[in-house]
Chains A and B, each alone.
Chain A
Amino acid sequence: MSGVELPLWAAVPAALLLVASGLLTVTGSLGLLRLPSFQARMHGPSMGNTLGCGCMLFASMFVSSAIVGRPVLHEFLITVFVVVTSPATAMLLMRASIYRARSKATSAGNEVVER
Chain B
Amino acid sequence: MKHFAPVLAIALALMWLLMNDTVSTGQVVLGILLALLLTFWSAKLRPLRPRLYRPQLAIGLLWTVFVDIVRSNIAVGRIILGLVGERSIRSAFLDIPLELRDPHGLAVLATIITSTPGTVWVDFDAERGLLTLHVLDLRDEEGWIRTIKEHYERPLIGIFQP
Decide if A and B touch, CB cutoff 8 A: yes
Residues of chain A whose beta carbon lies under 8 Å from any beta carbon of chain B: 24, 27-28, 30-31, 34-35, 37, 39-40, 42-44, 46-47, 49-51, 72-74, 76-77, 83-84, 86-87, 90-91, 94-95, 98, 115
Do B114 and A46 have beta carbons less than 8 Å apart? yes
Q: For chain B residues 91-111, which have a beta carbon within 8 Å of chain A?
A: 91, 93, 110-111
Partner of A87, one of B21, B81, B121, B134: B121
**Chain B residue contacts of A34, Cβ below 8 A:** 80, 82
Which residue from B18, B122, B123, B136 sits with its C-beta under 8 Å from A77?
B18
Kindly state the separation between the CA atoms of A44 and B72 in the bound complex, as whole angstroms.
Answer: 11
Smallest CB-CB separation from A71: which chain B residue?
B21
Cβ contacts under 8 Å, B15 to chain A: 77
Which of B18, B111, B117, B121 has most A Cβ within 10 Å? B117
Closest 6 CB pairs of A and B: A87-B114, A31-B80, A43-B136, A46-B117, A40-B91, A51-B73
List A contacts of B76 (CB < 8 A).
28, 31, 43-44, 46-47
CA A76 – CA B19 in complex, angstroms? 9
In the assembled complex, the CB of A113 is this many whole angstroms from the nearest CB of chain B, namely: 12
| Contact A49 B81, CB 8 Å, known A42-B120, A43-B120 | no
Q: A77-B15, A87-B111, A91-B121 are in contact. Are A24 and B73 (CB under 8 A)?
A: yes
Contact present for B117 and A40 (CB under 8 Å): no
Chain B 12-44 against A: per-residue CB contact (8 Å), 1 yes, 0 no? 000100110100000000000000000000000
- How far does the alpha carbon of A35 sit from the alpha carbon of B111 in the complex, in Å? 23
A51 to B82, CA, bound (A): 20
Q: Which residues of B contact A28 (CB under 8 A)?
A: 76-77, 80, 117
Most buried by A among B80, B89, B113, B134: B80
| Chain A residues closer than 8 Å to B73, beta-carbon distance | 24, 47, 50-51
